[in-house]
Amino acid sequence: MASVTRAVFGDLPSGAGTVEKFQLQSDLLKVDIISWGCTITALEVKDRQGKASDVVLGFAELEGYLQKQPYFGAVVGRVANRIAKGTFTLDGKEYKLAINNGPNSLHGGVRGFDKVLWTPRMLSNGVQFSRVSPDGEEGYPGELKVWVTYTLDGGELMINYRAQASRTTPVNLTNHSYFNLAGQGSPNIYDHEVTIEADAFLPVDETLIPTGEVAPVQGTAFDLRKPVELGKHLQDFHINGFDHNFCLKGSKEKHFCARVCHAGSGRLLEVYTTQPGVQFYTGNFLDGALKGKGGAVYPKHSGFCLETQNWPDAVNQPHFPPVLLRPGDEYDHTTWFKFSVA
């Protein structure tokens, strides 16, 4: 069983509200989640010696999350990932979004779901956050009711995302946690062994928008179907890191997505999801400028993300899995992060 406690995390400037922290604890995991952006701020996992370390990058205080920072631990939306040129057409009408990542719109815009206060509700084994995204928020059509539920069961953290729309709108929700299984603050993730259950990936242009091709991983740096040690793999293939969507099984059922093992500590993370894709990101844009928990700095490649989601720019690429949510339908996806010791 898991226990859940609630505390104040901090106050938003100019009386904009109080951010609360919810701590979910089982015999194997301890997870802190705040109501600002449904953000995971800490996740403690034991190693094979039984010593617990926090394995997610982030900040000890609210101020850290209010500064410009790369979505540490947050839920991103209304549409996660990039939309080419910040524009799409729906039922003959063109919608223009904020351009906040080169020439594109990223993670819902200037004030996406990561930069708002959600309404929490405590559960016996977790916490549910909800909010209403108003019609026209960040340029998106229709009002969107959203529920994000975190529940803990032993070593497994489950995140369920639900949404209902008043008008047809693209929806794509994910969690943007950065992990380092050696413990946050460890200098890099090169000694992590990564497996991703994908036969295909999406090549991208120079602005990181998918070209439209669905390319086989066979014989490329993107073939992670068998475990690879990350540092050696990046060297062998002369690549700067990953920031790519891997195409998973098309089933809406729970399916295996990825496994990451850290031999030094024995910590093992397995990811399962109902989503058709996962963005594997190796923290290529981290630069050591931000001061994290316990005085940690986060240089390039000091954390990795496994953002389970629909494929990037799906709203502009008709052969990608459908991303539109229509009135009367419900968006409902779940991802499971399962921690153990190898």
Q: What is the pLDDT along the chain (342 residues), one digit of tens a residue?
A: 899 999 999 999 999 999 999 999 999 999 999 999 999 999 999 999 999 999 999 999 999 999 999 999 999 999 999 999 999 999 999 999 999 999 999 999 999 999 999 999 999 999 999 999 999 999 999 999 999 999 999 999 999 999 999 999 999 999 999 999 999 999 999 999 999 999 999 999 999 999 999 999 999 999 999 999 999 999 999 999 999 999 998 788 999 999 999 999 999 999 999 999 999 999 999 999 999 999 999 999 999 999 999 999 999 999 999 999 999 999 999 999 999 999
Domain contains 44: yes
Q: Is residue 226 included in any domain, yes or no? A: no
Q: Which residue in the list 176, 233, 262, 333 is annotated as catalytic? A: 176
The first and second tokens of residue 340, run together, are 């153990």
Q: Any idea of the CA torsion for 278, 281, 282, 285, to the nearest 10 degrees? A: -170
What is the chain's length? 342
Q: Does 169 fall in a domain?
A: yes
Its pTM stands at: 0.97
In a domain, 289, yes or no: yes
- Residue 296, in any domain of the structure: yes
What does the pLDDT read at residue 251?
81
91 is in an annotated binding site: no
**176 labelled as ligand-binding?**
yes
Q: Would the annotation count 104 as a binding residue?
A: no
Cβ distance 78 to 295 under 8 Å? no
Domain that holds residue 58: 3-188+280-336
- Cα separation, 75 vs 80, in Å, equals 9
pLDDT of res. 33: 99
Residue 238 lies in a domain: no
pLDDT on residue 335: 98
Residue at 306 is within a domain: yes
**Ligand-binding site membership of 310 (annotated):** no
Q: Residues 2, 156: contact at Cβ < 8 Å?
A: no
Q: Kindly name the residue from 244, 301, 307, 333 that is annotated as catalytic.
A: 307
pLDDT score at 164? 98
**Cα gap 168→242, rounded to integer Å:** 32
Judge whether 82 is annotated as a binding position.
Answer: yes
For residue 309, the model assigns a pLDDT of: 98
* DSSP one-letter string for 68-94: S---TT-EE-SB-SEEGGGEEEETTEE
- The CATH number for 307's domain is 2.70.98.10
35 is in an annotated binding site: no
pLDDT, residue 59, reads 98
**Does residue 246 form part of some domain?**
no
* Per-residue model confidence (pLDDT) at position 252: 86
Domain count for the chain, please give it: 1
Residue 238 is a catalytic residue: no
Q: Could you tell me the strand order of the sheet in which 305-309 lies?
A: 215-216, 200-201, 243-247, 277-281, 305-309
Is 270 marked active-site?
Answer: no
Written as one letter, the residue type at 238 is: H
Res 250: pLDDT: 78
Tokens describing residue 301: 């490649």
98 dihedral zone (left: phi>0; alpha: psi -120 to 50; beta): beta
